[in-house]
Structure 1
Amino acid sequence: MNNTTTPPRDRGELTYRDAAEADVAVLVPLIESAYRGDASRTGWTTEADLLAGQRTDPEAVRQVITAPGSTLLVVERDGEPIACCQLEHRGDAAYFGMFAVRPEMQGGGLGRRIIAEAERRARERWGVREMQMTVITLRADLIAWYERRGYRRTGKLSPFPYGDERFGIPQRDDLAFELLVKDLSQAPTP
């Protein structure tokens, strides 16, 4: 009789490392799968109803990896990339972006663990006091998730780059980004 049970989706040893240029070929499809196309609909972070086309491309990922004061944090389980996020040093703040978790692994607490580690690394690496990010204003569910992690809406909007297909093909004419911030000098949010 087998008494083993399947562990929850957020269990297992995670390892974190800075991406290298050799990772670009694996990271682009990971990021695309979390945001665009039918595969992204498996998870809850999909933007498929808002944007078609690409979310990123090899050159944009390579730029994040190689730019000074920037890293793309790769999250692996058993040596396999399952998530990533961008961290960029911006004075007293760090920027958090390009956050992608494999769609089939979303919804089980993995994202919460990753963002906590990203915040810890930004504090330790750069001594920053604030984490910043931009989120499409129509993504109420995603904004609410970040608010539960301690981020707050600022009301500061920036326009979506309409006409630049490197960021996707808009399916609506009312897209904009809002700046969200979190004070990293406080105790971490569980």
Structure 2
Amino acid sequence: MTDLAFREATTDDVAAVVDLVESAYRGESSRAGWTTEADLLRGRRTDAAGIAAVVAAPAAVLLLAHRDGVLVGCCELRRTADGTGAPAYFGTFAVRPDAQGGGIGRALLTRADAEAVTRWGASALEMTVIAQRADLIAWYERLGFRGTGERRPFPYGDERFGIPQRDDLEFVVLRRPTAGTAG
């Protein structure tokens, strides 16, 4: 997507990023896209303090994608260990619901992959996805992610992650090699 511009988020972007992430995953507005979690979780997916912490973290970067000056996507990258070759965490990934399906997510992931290699020499991108999101997991698999076999508990009782609408939520860990690495 040559019409996308990428840049690193600053503290001035925090409110816009919170709005973007919320619109992509929670509430009625999220139903305009396919990434909605509205049937699994109510409440907030993130807040200003959480996004500001990512922006301020020395071992993280929040990448923004703009089209014609409008924020259309974002993702977080975080160094997971010192030294070259460790996987980088990939998260806080969101695309505006009315822009989903147009290649923005794929372009942002490609940019994130390159950033992780350039910044930290990352050998892979690693992420967590709610296990019940088969459609989302299938999309990531089409982009080279594979399940690691690791599962992590959902943080029930911590409303910073939302209010679960079912009692069987958990995360699966997905990983893919960064561009230019094998296996």
| TM-score, structure 1 as length reference | 0.90
Q: Does 1:138 align with 2:128?
A: no
CA RMSD of aligned residues (A): 1.3
The 5-angstrom pairing of residues 30-179 of structure 1 reads: 30-91=20-81, 92-179=86-173
Query: How many equivalent pairs are there?
Result: 178
Range 87-96 or range 30-39, more displaced: 87-96
Shift of residue 187, structure 1, vs aligned partner: 6.2
**Equivalent pair of 1:17/1:74 in contact (CA under 8 Å):** yes
Alignment-mate amino acid for residue 37 of structure 2: E
Range 106-115 or range 131-140, more displaced: 106-115
Shift of residue 186, structure 1, vs aligned partner: 3.8
Which structure: larger Rg? 1
CA distance in 1, matches of 2:179, 2:26: 34
Alignment-mate amino acid for residue 121 of structure 1: E
CA distance in 2, matches of 1:155, 1:126: 25
Q: Unaligned 5+ residue runs, structure 1?
A: 1-10
1:57-101 C-alpha deviation (Å, 9 max, x unpaired): 000000011011101101111122111000001121110001010
**Equivalent pair of 2:24/2:33 in contact (CA under 8 Å):** yes
Range 162-171 or range 110-119, more displaced: 110-119
**Equivalent pair of 1:12/1:77 in contact (CA under 8 Å):** no
Shift of residue 107, structure 1, vs aligned partner: 1.1
Alignment-mate amino acid for residue 42 of structure 1: A
CA distance in 2, matches of 1:79, 1:69: 27
CA distance in 1, matches of 2:51, 2:7: 15
| TM-score, structure 2 as length reference | 0.94
Match of 1:183 in 2: 177
**Equivalent pair of 1:83/1:100 in contact (CA under 8 Å):** yes
CA distance in 2, matches of 1:102, 1:141: 18
CA distance in 2, matches of 1:136, 1:57: 19
**Equivalent pair of 2:113/2:179 in contact (CA under 8 Å):** no
Q: 1:185/1:104 Cα in 2 relative to 1: closer, same or farther (>3 Å)?
A: closer
Specify the SS of the correspondent of 1:122: helix
Q: Unaligned 5+ residue runs, structure 2?
A: none
**Equivalent pair of 1:138/1:175 in contact (CA under 8 Å):** yes
CA distance in 2, matches of 1:105, 1:184: 25
CA distance in 1, matches of 2:180, 2:138: 20
